Amino acid sequence: MGSEFSLSHNPDSVGVPSAPGAPALSPAHVQRDSRPQQAAAVPYRVDPEGNLWVLLVTNSRGEWIVPKGTIEPNRSAEQTALIESLEEAGVTGTLDEAELGRYAYVKGGASLLVAVYSMRVDRVLVRWLEQADREREWFRYVEATERLSRTDLRKLLRVLHDRLAGAAKLSAA
């Protein structure tokens, strides 16, 4: 991705509300080609033995998730994924070329579409913006899939694993 942009934190940023009077849509109603309202990153690294490690963070309920947030009007989905990784997980890195996929969920009566990217981590910060609100932990691929409560995120983690295995970046084990 390689483009430079400034990182700024907006503490007033919140989820996308549903339009007044509009019916709430279920995730099944969201079209694949719709513009996503949120973006997420799956921060990962591959160790010297070829094992895939994924960095997960906790949400306010203590569930393991990946960094995700609302796409601001002046930002791309890719920029948002990088910013959320920095703010929520305290990591920087490079997004892989292709989007891993998308999923939809309902929050506050609004159906939100999330674009998900994989991010090869190149730096882990000791202190980060949301450190007091979240835990972060590296998990091997199999354990990361078990920790995620969302089936759609588990499937996208499998997409990442298969892409890296296809590119011969992972061990056969």
Could you report the per-residue pLDDT of 111-161, keeping only the tens digit for each? 999 999 999 999 999 999 999 999 999 999 999 999 998 999 999 999 999
pLDDT 10s digits, 61-107: 999 999 999 999 999 999 999 999 999 999 999 999 899 999 999 98
Q: How far from 144 is each of 44, 60, 77, 138, CA to CA, in Å?
A: 11, 18, 23, 8
pLDDT at site 170: 83
Range with lowest mean pLDDT among 5-14, 39-48, 163-172: 5-14
Paired sense of beta strands 110-124 and 38-46, if any: parallel
Rounded distance, CA 145 to CA 11, Å? 30
pLDDT at 126: 96
Bin 100: left if φ > 0, else alpha if -120 < ψ < 50, else beta: alpha
- pLDDT of amino acid 173: 55
Domains in the chain, CATH or no CATH each: 34-124+131-166 (3.90.79.10)
